């Protein structure tokens, strides 16, 4: 293992991380034998995970890849970029979608202008750069992404059996999934903005193809919506690049950040446009409808693209740019916009009974919180954002995979149909409840980040009030779901349900990663988060015996984790003892029968006592709130972009 470390340089590892998934994707597409495909996916995933871990001691580094057969990387990417935009334009024509056609054409024109008229000489830029923030993203993409692909092997087999497909569409599916992993790794590793832009558009295309995978009318419609909204972001992106290059002549992300001129003008406006692109990518209001619509895709797609990785591109970009915006009105606006998204998405999630939509709104909500952290721009806020990216990605992926398994078993996504799931799917229900607990409770990572964010935001009254209100709303919809899953009468016995081994493996691994990393959060802070801060920022906390502490606050992660484990053990022992207690029917104000929830009513007829969850649609319903929320978001977005002028 040591020899392998010495043998593999940063350049080789980067090549593996970016090119290997693409090679595996091509193999999956060409060889149409499912057993070989599964093995290819398993091997590719394992190699990805290993490479990502091997990258840890090599960080930070920056490098420029050698010319490929004499052609420089920039030229290759340039050609591929145009090819990609032409593909998007083709889809625009095929589906007769005006917005896509217009936006694709716009991007082609801007890119042509940029490449051939604006760029005078290609300076020797370092194309790839990896610091600890990139490393965190690479680890998420490689580890979480691979685990999701593993589970997808079992899931898609079941999915296609359900749909009774004659010809399997799994080759296309895994081709795009692995291509996407390639694109994500490339995106987070790139330093050259044009390479970043290429991978940015590639993820848009992958998202479109995967949402439309099932081929139904609804799927295609939602895929087109995702495509045009993301293309809007892409157009803003290339426009911003033009602006930045005209103003400063810089094409490298790292050099852009330390450029330092934060006065209003073209440069700041370009920063605002980059933030706009990030908002569309991360499905913030008013662009959230594409993410909600994307839930029609098979669940591994939702888990991979629409919660853990692709939507994280937006927050990654803004977190990277945060030092460049420090102290500006733009930064302040981004913070308020993020907090507004956090609150609004949480309110909308309260009114939802569709499980995947609840997860989608929760994702938008947490992404809004990360944007708020980036906008607040203090060391504490940035660290909170980085930790939240990591913990949210892992736990949300876990929850999506659980919902996927549940959906395949009970043929429904509605939380009401998951009532008492413990009776039929005991372990999956328990893992889902575990995931919910890790989302909302201390001492786990998501709450640690939220705590840090509130303390960082405490001086900014707009932001802290919205975060406090949103935080209370999140408790409501998560606790409601967890309780519904366990609502099983006469529950005493634990019956392990049958699931494919890959599913158990993926769920178990994600659960373990989430739990262990939560306990180890102080050390993750020291090894990954603090080094990710730019040179100008000082570490906000000191770590003493597993406690994160500074003059204003303290979070005893490790001691509380130990006490929590102790409490958990005691509570489980209590459950074992209670299993020997007399188990009775609940109080129904009537004579109970042996059937759960059924009592003898008037005329000796059996009456089923039913209760449904409070979804409060009259207050928090999607139809009721969405228009107003979008209006508010529109106003704030205008402030963000216009305020940069």
Q: Please report, as residue ranges, which positions from 384 to 423 form the binding site for other proteins (by CB under 8 A).
A: 420
Residue 483 binds to other proteins (criterion: CB under 8 A): yes
**Cα angle 381, 383, 385; round to 5:** 70
Which is closer to other proteins, CB of 83 or CB of 490?
490
Residue 595 binds to other proteins (criterion: CB under 8 A): no
Interface residue with other proteins, options 31, 43, 579, 635 (CB under 8 A): 579
Interface residue with other proteins, options 44, 154, 240, 482 (CB under 8 A): 482
Residue 527 binds to other proteins (criterion: CB under 8 A): no
**Mapping DSSP to helix (H, G, I), strand (E, B) and coil, where does residue 471 land?**
helix
Q: How far apart are CA 9 and CA 477, in angstroms?
A: 47
Residue 581 binds to other proteins (criterion: CB under 8 A): yes
Interface residue with other proteins, options 451, 523, 531, 601 (CB under 8 A): 451
Candidates 66-74, 86-94, 457-465, 534-542 — which segment interacts with other proteins by CB under 8 A? 457-465
Per the CB < 8 A criterion, the answer to whether 83 and 210 are in contact is no
Site string for other proteins, 549-568 (x = CB under 8 A): --xxxxxx---x--x---xx
Q: Which of residues 423-442 bind other proteins (CB under 8 A)?
A: 433, 440-442
Residue 588 binds to other proteins (criterion: CB under 8 A): yes
Which is closer to other proteins, CB of 148 or CB of 473?
473
Which is closer to other proteins, CB of 48 or CB of 521?
521
Q: How far apart are CA 573 and CA 567, in angstroms?
A: 10
Per the CB < 8 A criterion, the answer to whether 207 and 309 are in contact is no
Which is closer to other proteins, CB of 492 or CB of 634?
492
Q: How far apart are CA 284 and CA 291, in angstroms?
A: 9
Per the CB < 8 A criterion, the answer to whether 267 and 319 are in contact is no
Which is closer to other proteins, CB of 94 or CB of 493?
493
In angstroms, how far is the first alpha carbon of the chain from the final one?
54
**Burial of 154 (C-beta count, 10 Å sphere; 0-12/13-18/19+):** buried
Least distance from C-beta 548 to other proteins, angstroms?
10
Q: How far apart are CA 386 and CA 53, in angstroms?
A: 18
Q: Token match 């406006």: residue?
A: 269
Q: What is the 3-state secondary structure (H, E, C) of 414-452?
A: EHHHHCCHHHCCHHHHHHHHHHHHHHHCCCCHHHHHHHH
Candidates 78-86, 159-167, 242-250, 454-462 — which segment interacts with other proteins by CB under 8 A? 454-462
- Going from the C-alpha of 598 to that of each of 538, 593, 602, 614, the distances in angstroms are 62, 6, 13, 21
Residue 645 binds to other proteins (criterion: CB under 8 A): no
Interface residue with other proteins, options 582, 594, 602, 623 (CB under 8 A): 582
Which is closer to other proteins, CB of 107 or CB of 487?
487
Residue 543 binds to other proteins (criterion: CB under 8 A): no
Residue 631 binds to other proteins (criterion: CB under 8 A): no
Residue 28 binds to other proteins (criterion: CB under 8 A): no
Q: How far apart are CA 352 and CA 481, in angstroms?
A: 11
Residue 480 binds to other proteins (criterion: CB under 8 A): yes
Least distance from C-beta 609 to other proteins, angstroms?
5
Which is closer to other proteins, CB of 26 or CB of 491?
491
Site string for other proteins, 599-628 (x = CB under 8 A): -x--------xxx-xx--------------
**Cα angle 307, 308, 312; round to 5:** 90
Interface residue with other proteins, options 19, 71, 112, 591 (CB under 8 A): 591
Q: How far apart are CA 41 and CA 146, in angstroms?
A: 8
Residue 19 binds to other proteins (criterion: CB under 8 A): no
Per the CB < 8 A criterion, the answer to whether 372 and 467 are in contact is yes
Which is closer to other proteins, CB of 234 or CB of 522?
522
Total count of residues recorded for the chain = 645
């Amino acid at each position: 293992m040591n020899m392998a470390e010495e043998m593999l340089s940063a350049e080789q590892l980067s090549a593996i991380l970016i090119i290997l998934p693409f090679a595996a994707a091509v193999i999956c597409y060409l060889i149409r034998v499912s057993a070989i495909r599964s093995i290819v996916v398993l091997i590719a995933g394992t190699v990805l995970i290993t490479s990502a871990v091997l990258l840890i001691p090599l960080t930070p580094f920056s490098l420029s890849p050698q010319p490929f057969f004499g052609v420089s990387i920039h030229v290759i990417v340039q050609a591929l970029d145009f090819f990609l935009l032409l593909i998007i334009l083709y889809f625009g024509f095929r589906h007769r979608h005006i917005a896509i056609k217009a936006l694709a054409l716009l991007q082609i024109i801007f890119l042509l202008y940029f490449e051939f008229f604006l760029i005078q000489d290609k300076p020797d830029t370092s194309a790839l750069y990896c610091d600890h923030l990139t490393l965190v993203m690479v680890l998420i993409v490689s580890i979480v992404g691979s685990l999701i692909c593993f589970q997808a092997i079992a899931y898609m087999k079941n999915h296609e059996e359900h749909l009774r497909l004659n010809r399997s569409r799994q080759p296309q599916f895994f081709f795009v999934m692995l291509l996407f992993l390639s694109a994500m790794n490339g995106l987070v590793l790139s330093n050259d903005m044009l390479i970043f832009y290429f991978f940015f558009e590639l993820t848009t295309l992958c998202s479109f193809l995967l949402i439309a995978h099932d081929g139904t009318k609804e799927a295609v419609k939602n895929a087109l919506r995702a495509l045009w909204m993301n293309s809007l972001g892409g157009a803003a992106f290339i426009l911003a690049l033009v602006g930045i290059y005209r103003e400063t002549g810089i094409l490298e992300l790292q050099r852009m950040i330390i450029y330092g001129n934060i006065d209003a003008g073209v440069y700041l406006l370009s920063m605002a446009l980059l933030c706009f692109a990030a908002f569309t990518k991360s499905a913030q209001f008013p662009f959230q409808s594409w993410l909600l619509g994307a839930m029609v895709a098979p669940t591994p797609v939702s888990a991979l693209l629409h919660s853990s990785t692709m939507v994280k591109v937006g927050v990654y970009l803004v977190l990277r740019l945060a030092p460049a915006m420090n102290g500006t009105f733009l930064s302040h606006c981004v913070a308020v916009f993020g907090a507004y998204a956090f609150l609004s998405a949480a309110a909308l999630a309260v009114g939802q009974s569709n499980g995947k939509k609840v997860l989608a709104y929760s994702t938008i909500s947490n992404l809004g919180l990360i944007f708020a952290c980036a906008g607040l721009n203090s060391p504490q806020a940035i660290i909170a954002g980085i930790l939240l990216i990591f913990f949210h990605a892992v736990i949300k992926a876990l929850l999506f995979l659980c919902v996927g398994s549940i959906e395949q078993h009970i043929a429904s996504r509605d939380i009401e149909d998951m009532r008492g799931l413990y009776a039929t799917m005991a372990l999956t229900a328990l893992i889902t409840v575990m995931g919910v607990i890790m989302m909302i409770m201390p001492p786990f990572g998501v709450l640690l980040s939220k705590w840090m964010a509130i303390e960082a935001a405490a001086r900014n009254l707009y932001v802290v009030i919205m975060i406090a209100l949103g935080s209370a709303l999140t408790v409501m919809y998560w606790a409601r779901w967890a309780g519904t899953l366990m609502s099983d009468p006469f529950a005493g016995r634990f019956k392990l349900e049958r699931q494919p081994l890959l599913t158990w493996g993926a769920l178990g691994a994600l659960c373990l990663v989430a739990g262990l990393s939560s306990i180890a959060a102080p050390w993750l802070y020291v090894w990954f988060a603090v080094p990710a801060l730019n040179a100008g920022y000082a570490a906000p906390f000191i770590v003493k015996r597993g406690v994160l502490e500074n003059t204003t606050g303290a979070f005893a992660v490790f001691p509380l984790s130990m006490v929590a484990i102790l409490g958990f053990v005691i509570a489980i022992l209590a459950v074992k003892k209670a299993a020997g207690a007399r188990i009775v029917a609940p109080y129904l104000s009537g004579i109970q029968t042996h059937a759960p929830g059924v009592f003898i009513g008037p005329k000796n007829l059996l009456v089923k006592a039913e209760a449904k969850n409070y979804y409060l649609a009259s207050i928090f319903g999607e139809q009721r709130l969405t228009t107003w929320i979008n209006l508010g978001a529109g106003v704030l977005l205008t402030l963000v972009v216009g305020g940069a002028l």
